[in-house]
Every structure is written in structure tokens, then in C-alpha cells.
């Protein structure tokens, strides 16, 4: 459910190279389809070449009618980066330096290096810059100095960790608790919730003691719709969960609930410690205590001896308000159907400040709705959990989502020191280290982890994913002509390391689709022929036919800008729509194909709406949405996009139907802003017949 984005990965998806469909080895360059290019894009040059920025700066201004020979500090730096192929992070630069960055400046730069030009622009304002993965970010001088000291400290910490002769603390191996099923062998909201709570209580006491990242398990349960009532869990789904987490031990069980809410629970453990059965029963009032009981079963099965303080923490009630677990089931049901009211989650969290799962769900809802005050509300309500390792993870992850790497990276590093095998820590840590220019430190940390666990596929998977991003860090996000020979050499060298690591991960565990999925990207970046791509795509969907990421990466490979063709792209997308695996989003690949063509329309001087107003285009899209949303009524993000595209197509009746369902669950990644959402909704209501 929480998908962690990477800036480097995002750059990989939008750039840069295009080849004729007949030959992937003959590359030319192309910008992002749909991206508005200023006239100055024609000035792009190699990073070693000189730049020029002279009055009246017209081509670099937002307001072309401004007669004054002036330019803001922000736009002046952007003008320089546009001429060199460097990226410029306008949002972070503004956050770091506003309001100074909005002040007027009057540079007169001619035939200078980009470093000299930016220094000339910034020095009168006591500002400086840093490079994050070849992207310029403005900073105040004092902040940049603190950042440099923090970098040196993190590099020293990693060097000390990987050179230590003592083996890092090894947590107990993972134990997965699958959802408790009803007597007919089907899922219930309460049964799934109890299993998730039990894993949390067993894993964090409050320091982490089991090698399992419970949020990753919950995400998989959500993706597989285990929280939906009435579902059967087949052996393949169980194996996929275990394979992804490298878990050798697991528990399955049943939950029988009578009309008066009295209940019986049975648990059967299997794995490294043999087989073991547990059972209990109780009344409605006892339901709130079942997460603690499940946690104690896990610890007893593993043969763990807890200290008195740890035992007290496990036995501490998760809820202070009686009946809260049933209230949480109701909220989970609303969440499943797309209702994400953060105020109700905040209220439950305030009434139950010791409930980590409630805090986690509030975190997820806040992230999806892009609520900016999660930390303030969460830390105020959960002061007693500040030393809880999951809470520390959520705090680090929140800073990471805000792209505040100076705060997120040292927090993730602290977590890795005591949780080396937690794969979920590495991608955000890697992104932070790359943004801070510490790629070599990240590389040494991955090698250290792989050496500790040579038989596990997870360190090789994480290392391969890192080297894909590390390759793009060397290459940069500019056009092909802006990449140096050294940049190309490191790009290819690091991609080949990624290929070796990912191949090793797949060899060890072919049941996890992620290594094969990542290899689809490697085949594209290294210009491999379609046969190689298809081989890895087949391996990915053999492991998991519902792996949306694999389908999306194949679609990207087939796009015209990457040497495919419109016909190839749409043939695959329509096949996905026609043969989408049950309980998957694979049909939405067709929307990705249409979105790509809309971008290309905009790039050619039109706009997105021109493309979607084509009756044949919208008719095809609408038909797929109708089926998908009927099968997945809670797919609130897809409903937001359906409403947006319906507005583009001027099908205001359909847009109004979707707006009625959406209510206030506005997905900003779709609309860009609440203002635009309300503008479109008002137009739909005004125009609908």
C-alpha cells in the first residue's frame, strides 16, 4: 500500500533516449513527451561547455511580458542548469531558501562554466548549492556546512560498521501469521486485523526482535485483498508472501465469532521449530487482548526468552478504549472502499495512543492524501512510543517522503545498524545516500550485507536495485549529449553489476518477482533486444501474474521513445486489458499507454485534452474503467483518474458519477492540487445533463 518512490528511478522512466523501432542500438535523444520545453532547450550543451545568461532574460521568465531586465534567483539558476543538462530541484530549493530565492537578480554571464555562473548568481545572496544525483539544490551557506559535516559523520559510521570484526546483531527469523479464517475457510476483516496486530506486537517489544518488516506484510495483504471478507487464500498466495520475505516459519489459524461476539481462535505453527498448536476463547470484551495472545504464541513457538520489561510491553493492552478493535475493523472496511478520512483515524489514535497499528494506518492514510501534519499529530498522540522501532521507521519514512534527506538518511542508518537484514530500509537509505553524494558508502554497506547472508536472495536484490539507481546517478538525467564519456562508462559498468546481482537474486529465489521485474529495466537501459526483455518479463509474471510493476516496465520498453512503436505498445496494453488476471490492476496498463500518447500530443504542440476528446480513445478507456471499478469499487485512485479523463473527454455525466463516489478523497498525484480538483468538479456538475 505504501509505495516508496525514488527520484532516481523516476528519472529513469522519463528520459532521454529514443531509437528507431528496427534497431535499439542506434540511439538518438528526445525529451520527455508532454513536457513544456522553453526555447532555451535548444541551448543544451555538454556539462563541460560554457553557459550564457544575459539581459533581458525573456526566454527564462515565467512572465514573458515583464519589460524589466531582471530575473529571479530561482529562474537564473534554472536557466544555467537547462543549458548544461543538470537537473534543478525547484521545490527543495524554495523550501531551503525562500524568500531569498524569489528576489530579483541581474546576472551578465557569458561563456562561463556552469559552476562559475551559479556562483556569480548566488554569492550576493549568501546562498550556495549542492548536487543531489546531478540535480542542483539551493541552500543557505550555514545549512550546507551542517550538511557536509553530517555527510562526513555518516560516511564514517558506515565505514566503521562494515570494517567491524564483530558480527552485527542477528534478529530472530521471521514468523508470518496469515489471516485467521472463518470456519468456512474465508477471510474476515477482524481475522486479518488480529493477525496483523499479533505480528506487530510480537516483532516490536518495543525494540525489534524478529527479522520481519510488518508494514511490508500488511502491504502484501492489502494487495492480495486479504482484508476483504469472504476471500479464500490459496497455497500460491501463501508461498508468494513467504518467498518475498524469505520466511521459513508461519502460522495459520481460524477465528469463530458468535453473534454475541464470543469467539474461539486456533493457531497452527509450522517451520524451523517444527509444528505447534495453540487455542483460546473468550467474550467480546476479550477481543481487544488477542494481539497480545498471538504475540505470546509467536514468542513461545520461537523459544524466545523475554526480559520482565519486554514481557510487560507485550502484555500491555493495545487499546485503552473498550471495543476499539471493532471500531478499527469498521475504519479498515471504509479504507478498503476508498474512504480515507484522516480525522477519524486521528480520533482513534488519540483515544488509543499505545496502538502502533492505528498509528501505522494513520501514517498510510496521511501519505496517500499528502497530509503534511502527520508527524505533529502522531508524535503528540504517541509520546509513549518514541523509542518504538516501528515509530522510528515511520518518522524516517515521513522525512524521506518529504525529500528531506538530511533528516531521513541518518535515521535510516541508525535503524540499519540494529536491523541489517531489513530490506525495506535500504531503498530509502540508498536514495538519501546517493542524494548526499555517498554512493560509495552505500555500495560498501550492500556488500557487507551480502557477505553476512550469502544464501538469501534479499541482499542481492537490494544490491541490484541500488546499482540500477547508482548507474543513473553517474549518467545524470540530462539529454544524451550532456553525458560525459566518464558518465557513460560508469553507467554501463554499474548496470552490469546490477545485472549480476539481480540474476543471482533470481537464481536463489525465482518465486519473488522483483528481481526479474528490475531486470526488465536493465534490458532497456543496456539496449538489449526484445527477446531478452520477454525472458525476464515471463519470469516475473510466472512468479506473480498480478505483478503490475512488471507489466508497466514492459510497456515502457515498448514505447516509441525507447525504440518500440505505437502499435507494439497498444497491442500489449490491449492484451493486458482483455486478459487481466483476477484481483489485479493489470487492465490499467491500457491507461498508461493512452497517457503516454497524450504526452506525445502535448509535446507536439497540442494539449492533453485534445487527445482524450477523441471519441474512440475515451470509449476504449471508459469501457475498461467500468469493468475495473465494478470489480474494485474501493480503487479510489483509479476513480480520481477516471474523473479527470472524463473531464478531458467532456463526458461530464461520467465525471459527475465518479465525483459523487470520490467525495473528499482527493488524490493529489492525480489532480496536482485541490483547487484544480474543485474546478473540474464544478464544471462537471454545471455541464452534466
Residue 270 lies in a domain: yes
So what's the pLDDT on residue 28? 26
So what's the pLDDT on residue 338? 66
The helix/strand/coil state of 266 is strand
So what's the pLDDT on residue 381? 62
CA–CA gap between residue 20 and residue 602 (Å, rounded): 21
The helix/strand/coil state of 444 is helix
Residue 612 lies in a domain: no
Supply 168's cell numbers: 552485527
Confidence of residue 223 (pLDDT cuts 50, 70, 90): confident
So what's the pLDDT on residue 333? 81
Asked if 218 and 285 sit in the same domain, the reply is yes
**Angle separating helix axes 7-14 and 457-475, nearest 10 degrees:** 60
Q: At a CB cut-off of 8 Å and minimum separation 6, what does 185 contact? A: 232
Indicate if the pLDDT at residue 478 is higher than 80: no
Q: Could you tell me which residue, 103 or 667, shows the higher pLDDT? A: 103
Query: What percent of the chain shows pLDDT beyond 90?
Result: 62
211 is in which domain, residue-wise?
175-318
Query: For 81-113, what is each residue's pLDDT tens digit?
Result: 988 878 899 999 999 999 999 999 999 999 999
Look at residues 125, 160, 195 and tell me which one is the last residue of a structural domain: 160
Say if CB 135 and CB 477 are below 8 A apart.
Answer: yes
CA–CA gap between residue 7 and residue 427 (Å, rounded): 11
CA–CA gap between residue 425 and residue 212 (Å, rounded): 12
Confidence of residue 44 (pLDDT cuts 50, 70, 90): very low
So what's the pLDDT on residue 601? 84
So what's the pLDDT on residue 18? 29
CA–CA gap between residue 486 and residue 475 (Å, rounded): 9
Supply 136's cell numbers: 542542483
Strand partners, 158: none
So what's the pLDDT on residue 85? 79
Indicate if the pLDDT at residue 544 is higher than 60: yes
Report the run of H or E that residue 16 belongs to, with start and end: strand 16-18
Indicate if the pLDDT at residue 122 is higher than 80: yes
Q: State mean pLDDT over 407-416.
A: 95
Q: State mean pLDDT over 331-353.
A: 78
So what's the pLDDT on residue 632? 83
> Considering its fold, how many domains does the chain have in total?
2
So what's the pLDDT on residue 96? 94
Query: For 230-276, what is each residue's pLDDT tens digit?
Result: 999 989 889 989 988 889 999 999 999 999 889 999 999 999 999 99
The helix/strand/coil state of 500 is helix
Residue 202 lies in a domain: yes
Rounded mean pLDDT of the chain?
Answer: 86
CA–CA gap between residue 231 and residue 597 (Å, rounded): 38
Q: Which ranges in 419-559 belong to alpha helices (H)? A: 426-435, 439-452, 457-475, 485-508, 514-525, 530-543, 548-558
Asked if 211 and 84 sit in the same domain, the reply is no
Strand partners, 139: 128
So what's the pLDDT on residue 380? 66
Residue 641 lies in a domain: no
Asked if 230 and 103 sit in the same domain, the reply is no
Give CA 527 to chain center in angstroms.
26
Q: Could you tell me which residue, 166 or 68, shows the higher pLDDT? A: 68
Say if CB 212 and CB 247 are below 8 A apart.
Answer: yes
Residue 530 lies in a domain: no
So what's the pLDDT on residue 9? 33
Give CA 36 to chain center in angstroms.
26
Confidence of residue 579 (pLDDT cuts 50, 70, 90): very high
So what's the pLDDT on residue 371? 65
Asked if 55 and 80 sit in the same domain, the reply is yes
- Comparing 105-109, 329-333, 372-376, 514-518, which segment has the lowest mean pLDDT? 372-376
* Geometric angle at alpha carbon 416, from 411 and 417, rounded to 5°: 100
Of 554, 551, 543, 547, the closest CA to residue 512 belongs to 543
Residue 591 lies in a domain: no
- The pTM (predicted TM-score) of the whole model is 0.84
- Comparing 205-219, 421-435, 605-619, which segment has the lowest mean pLDDT? 605-619
Residue 135 lies in a domain: yes
Say if CB 397 and CB 411 are below 8 A apart.
Answer: no
Asked if 137 and 205 sit in the same domain, the reply is no
Asked if 189 and 101 sit in the same domain, the reply is no
Supply 379's cell numbers: 508524535
Say if CB 460 and CB 452 are below 8 A apart.
Answer: no
Query: What percent of the chain shows pLDDT beyond 70?
Result: 89
Indicate if the pLDDT at residue 365 is higher than 60: yes
Asked if 185 and 314 sit in the same domain, the reply is yes
Q: State mean pLDDT over 37-53.
A: 54
CA–CA gap between residue 502 and residue 532 (Å, rounded): 14
Q: At a CB cut-off of 8 Å and minimum separation 6, what does 671 contact? A: 640, 644, 677, 680
Indicate if the pLDDT at residue 602 is higher than 90: no
So what's the pLDDT on residue 5? 35
Supply 57's cell numbers: 532574460
- Comparing 47-56, 460-469, 572-581, which segment has the lowest mean pLDDT? 47-56
Look at residues 95, 129, 160 and tell me which one is the last residue of a structural domain: 160
Asked if 297 and 225 sit in the same domain, the reply is yes
Q: State mean pLDDT over 58-83.
A: 89
Look at residues 115, 137, 160 and tell me which one is the last residue of a structural domain: 160
Report the run of H or E that residue 109 belongs to, with start and end: strand 109-112
Of 437, 440, 443, 432, the closest CA to residue 406 belongs to 432
Asked if 184 and 311 sit in the same domain, the reply is yes
Confidence of residue 385 (pLDDT cuts 50, 70, 90): confident
Give CA 15 to chain center in angstroms.
19
The helix/strand/coil state of 127 is strand
Length of the chain: 689
Strand partners, 278: 267
Indicate if the pLDDT at residue 21 is higher than 70: no
CA–CA gap between residue 537 and residue 255 (Å, rounded): 39
C-alpha dihedral (603, 607, 608, 611), degrees to nearest 10: -90
Of 175, 201, 171, the closest CA to residue 273 belongs to 175
Q: At a CB cut-off of 8 Å and minimum separation 6, what does 515 contact? A: 457, 460, 461, 464, 502, 503, 505, 506, 509
Peptide bond into 56 cis (omega under 30): yes
Indicate if the pLDDT at residue 34 is higher than 70: no
Asked if 66 and 184 sit in the same domain, the reply is no
Residue 682 lies in a domain: no
Q: State mean pLDDT over 18-34.
A: 30
Of 203, 219, 200, the closest CA to residue 211 belongs to 203
Asked if 119 and 188 sit in the same domain, the reply is no
Asked if 103 and 79 sit in the same domain, the reply is yes
Amino acid at each position: 500500500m505504501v509505495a516508496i518512490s525514488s527520484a532516481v528511478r523516476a528519472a529513469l522512466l522519463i528520459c532521454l533516449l529514443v531509437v528507431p523501432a528496427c534497431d535499439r542500438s542506434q540511439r538518438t535523444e528526445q525529451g520527455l513527451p508532454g513536457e513544456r520545453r522553453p526555447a532555451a532547450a535548444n541551448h543544451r550543451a555538454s556539462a563541460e561547455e560554457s553557459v550564457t545568461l544575459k539581459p533581458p532574460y525573456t526566454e527564462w521568465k515565467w512572465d514573458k511580458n515583464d519589460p524589466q531586465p531582471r530575473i529571479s534567483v530561482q529562474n537564473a539558476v534554472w536557466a544555467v542548469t537547462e543549458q548544461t543538462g543538470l537537473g534543478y530541484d525547484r521545490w527543495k530549493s524554495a523550501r531551503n531558501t525562500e524568500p531569498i530565492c524569489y528576489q530579483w537578480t541581474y546576472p551578465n554571464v557569458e561563456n562561463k562554466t556552469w559552476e562559475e555562473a551559479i556562483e556569480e548568481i548566488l554569492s550576493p545572496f549568501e546562498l550556495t548549492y549542492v548536487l543531489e544525483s546531478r540535480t542542483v539544490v539551493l541552500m543557505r551557506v550555514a545549512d550546507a556546512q551542517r550538511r557536509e559535516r553530517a555527510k562526513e559523520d555518516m560516511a564514517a559510521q558506515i565505514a566503521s560498521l562494515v570494517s567491524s570484526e564483530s558480527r552485527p546483531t542477528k534478529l530472530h527469523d521471521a514468523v508470518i501469521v496469515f489471516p485467521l479464517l472463518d470456519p468456512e475457510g474465508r477471510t474476515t476483516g477482524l481475522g486479518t486485523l488480529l493477525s496483523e496486530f499479533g505480528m506487530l506486537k510480537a516483532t516490536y517489544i518495543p525494540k525489534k526482535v524478529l527479522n520481519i518488516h510488518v508494514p511490508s506484510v500488511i502491504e502484501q495483504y492489502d494487495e492480495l485483498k486479504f482484508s476483504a471478507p469472504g476471500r479464500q487464500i490459496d497455497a500460491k498466495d501463501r508461498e508468494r508472501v513467504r518467498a518475498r520475505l524469505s520466511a521459513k516459519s508461519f502460522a495459520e489459524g481460524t477465528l469463530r465469532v458468535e453473534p454475541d461476539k464470543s469467539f474461539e481462535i486456533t493457531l497452527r505453527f509450522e517451520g524451523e521449530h517444527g509444528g505447534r498448536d495453540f487455542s483460546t476463547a473468550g467474550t467480546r470484551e476479550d477481543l481487544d487482548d488477542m494481539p497480545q495472545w498471538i504475540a505470546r504464541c509467536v514468542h513461545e513457538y520461537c523459544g524466545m526468552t523475554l526480559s520482565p520489561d519486554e514481557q510487560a510491553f507485550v502484555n500491555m493492552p493495545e487499546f485503552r478504549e473498550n471495543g476499539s478493535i471493532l471500531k478499527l475493523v469498521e475504519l479498515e472496511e471504509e479504507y478498503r472502499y476508498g474512504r480515507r478520512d484522516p480525522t477519524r483515524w486521528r480520533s482513534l489514535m488519540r483515544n488509543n495512543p499505545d496502538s502502533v497499528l492505528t498509528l501505522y494506518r494513520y501514517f498510510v492514510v496521511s501519505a496517500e492524501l499528502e497530509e503534511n501534519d502527520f508527524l505533529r499529530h502522531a508524535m503528540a498522540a504517541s509520546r509513549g512510543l518514541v523509542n518504538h522501532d516501528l515509530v522510528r521507521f515511520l518518522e524516517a519514512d515521513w522525512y524521506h517522503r518529504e525529500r528531506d534527506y538530511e533528516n531521513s538518511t541518518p535515521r535510516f542508518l541508525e535503524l540499519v545498524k540494529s536491523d541489517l537484514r531489513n530490506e525495506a530500509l535500504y531503498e530509502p537509505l540508498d536514495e538519501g545516500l546517493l542524494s548526499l553524494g555517498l554512493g560509495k558508502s552505500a555500495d560498501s554497506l550492500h556488500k557487507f550485507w551480502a557477505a553476512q547472508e550469502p544464501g538469501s536472495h534479499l541482499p542481492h536484490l537490494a544490491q541490484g536495485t541500488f546499482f540500477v539507481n547508482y548507474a543513473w546517478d553517474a549518467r545524470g538525467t540530462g539529454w544524451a549529449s550532456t553525458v560525459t564519456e566518464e558518465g557513460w562508462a560508469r553507467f554501463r559498468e554499474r548496470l552490469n553489476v546490477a545485472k549480476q546481482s539481480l540474476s543471482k537474486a533470481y537464481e536463489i529465489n525465482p518465486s519473488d518477482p522483483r528481481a526479474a521485474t528490475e531486470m526488465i529495466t536493465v534490458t532497456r537501459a543496456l539496449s538489449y533486444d526484445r527477446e531478452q526483455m520477454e525472458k525476464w518479463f515471463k519470469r516475473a509474471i510466472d512468479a506473480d501474474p498480478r505483478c503490475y510493476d512488471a507489466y508497466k516496465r514492459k510497456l515502457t520498453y515498448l514505447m516509441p521513445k525507447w525504440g518500440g512503436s505505437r502499435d507494439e505498445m497498444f497491442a500489449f496494453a490491449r492484451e493486458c486489458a482483455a486478459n487481466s488476471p483476477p484481483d489485479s490492476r493489470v487492465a490499467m496498463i491500457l491507461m498508461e499507454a493512452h497517457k503516454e500518447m497524450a504526452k506525445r500530443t502535448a509535446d507536439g504542440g497540442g494539449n492533453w485534452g485534445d487527445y482524450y476528446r477523441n471519441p474512440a480513445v475515451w470509449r476504449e478507456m471508459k469501457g475498461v474503467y467500468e469493468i475495473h471499478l465494478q470489480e474494485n469499487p474501493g480503487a479510489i485512485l483509479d476513480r480520481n483518474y477516471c474523473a479527470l479523463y472524463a473531464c478531458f473527454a467532456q463526458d461530464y455525466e461520467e465525471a459527475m458519477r465518479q465525483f459523487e463516489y470520490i467525495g473528499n478523497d482527493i488524490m493529489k498525484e492525480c489532480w496536482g492540487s485541490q483547487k484544480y480538483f474543485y474546478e473540474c468538479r464544478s464544471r462537471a456538475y454545471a455541464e452534466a445533463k
